Amino acid sequence: MATICGIDDAGKGPVIGAMIVAGILVDEEDLSKLMKIGVKDSKLLTQKQREKLCSQIVKIVKSYKIIKISPSEVDQAVLSDKGFNLNWLEGEKMAEVINFLKPNEAIVDCPSPNIKAFKHFLDSKIKTPVALLCEHKAERHPQVAAASILAKCAREEEVLLIKKKIGLDFGSGYISDPKTKQFLKENWNKFPEIFRHSWAPYREYSEGKKSKKQKSLEEYD
């Protein structure tokens, strides 16, 4: 029986907190069970719906893997002068998920606009034979939708942990959130470990000048 893996990310764009890569391993015959409980792109669900589905997903799948990418690791990729970037970092983590789960087939929500180049990079990092498919909007596949829900739930848990640790509410962590924007303005130099220093909104304060480098990332999930 074929085992199938779906992989997706969450938290690529926020200025605060970790980015998450999640993958699930499921028997082919159990894909219908994921569809039956109503898995879909996590962005189309409420937080309450995601939390309920998370508990159901982990009971259906054979295994799963969640990787947290710290703000400092994100910064290293974004600021790299060696041809490395955030998409390649994400590719490395996705390969780590595949190597852990060891599926027969894997479907990945491709973070790069260049699907062919990203698939080639991912193939070079995978240690065992796997039929690999990279797509944009891959959440149409139930295994990727399930992974997107686990990733989003892990991201939301991470945000709650940070809030408890610092004792302050900064909103969602996305700069489009007025609460996050105000928090950044008032606290950018007080909690350096929670911020992505390479992000343009952070650099406006840390460098005292505007930077447009990451503006296209601000609304990413």
Residue 136 three-state SS:
coil
Residues 175 and 194 grouped into a single domain: yes
Domain count, the chain: 2
Q: pLDDT value at position 1?
A: 77
Backbone angles phi, psi at 69, to 5 degrees: -105, 115
Residues 134 and 97 grouped into a single domain: yes
Indicate whether 211 pLDDT > 50: no
Query: Looking up tokens 């400092």, which residue turns up?
Result: 72
pLDDT in tens, 77-107: 999 887 789 999 999 999 999 999 999 999 9
**Domain of residue 16, CATH code:** 3.30.420.10
DSSP 8-state secondary structure symbol assigned to residue 84: -
pLDDT in tens, 148-191: 999 999 999 999 999 999 999 999 999 999 999 999 999 999 99
Q: pLDDT value at position 208?
A: 80
Residues 71 and 148 grouped into a single domain: yes
Residues 178 and 86 grouped into a single domain: no
Indicate whether 219 pLDDT > 60: no
Residues 140 and 176 grouped into a single domain: no
Indicate whether 221 pLDDT > 70: no
DSSP-derived pairing of the beta strands 19-27 and 63-69: antiparallel
Single-letter residue type at 171: G
Residues 111 and 144 grouped into a single domain: yes
Structural domain harbouring 185: 168-217
Residues 189 and 80 grouped into a single domain: no
Over residues 21-31, mean pLDDT: 97
Indicate whether 207 pLDDT > 50: yes
Residues 174 and 211 grouped into a single domain: yes
